[in-house]
Amino acid sequence: MLLKENTPAPDFTLPDQEGNLVSLSDYRGQKVVLYFYPRDNTPGCTRQACGYAAAQPDFSAAGAVVLGISKDSAASHQKFAAKYSLPFKLLSDPEHKVLEAYGVWQEKKLYGKVSMGVVRSSYLIDEEGIIRRALEKVKPDQNAADMLALLKD
């Protein structure tokens, strides 16, 4: 279950695709679009990331930073970001501590098989670190546009 809107976003520190440590608190004073996705280089995740990349100028104009998080390694993120020229940070959470803190590490069923995994979700966090919007089971092709619309509201 996702975190509730109008509550503080849990702070975290994770490595980005370059191996640099990034904390949510580094972005106090800016809006943050935090999106969680299952895996680098899969069709849906690639479309989602490319949607955010295409809309990057609009997010910047709205004063928002985009951060993507999955359980993939920093090395995997580096290849993924380079392959698709992604202009934002991808953060690595292989132990899924942040994924669990944000409620996106959930039981999933596929073809009758039950496993744990990332439910594609996104959060809009304001300048004070408060969750303003939480979207669960987002569509990869629509996610960036939906978050941009929420930013403009």
Write the pLDDT tens digit of every residue in 108-139.
888 889 999 999 999 999 999 999 999 999 99
**Which CATH number belongs to the domain containing residue 97 in this structure?**
3.40.30.10
Instruction: Give the catalytic positions in this structure.
Output: 45
14-25-136 Cα angle (round to 5) = 70
Domain count, the chain: 1
Residue 1 domain-assigned (yes or no):
no
Is 107 within a domain?
A: yes
Mean pLDDT for 54-63 is 96
7 occurs within a structural domain: no
Would 4 be classed as within a structural domain? no
Q: Domain for residue 48, yes or no?
A: yes
Tell me if 5 is assigned to some domain.
no
Of residues 19, 24, 33, the one with CA closest to residue 76: 19
Domain that holds residue 23: 13-152
pLDDT of 153 higher than 90: no
Residue 57 placed within a domain: yes
Q: What is the value of pTM for the model shown?
A: 0.95
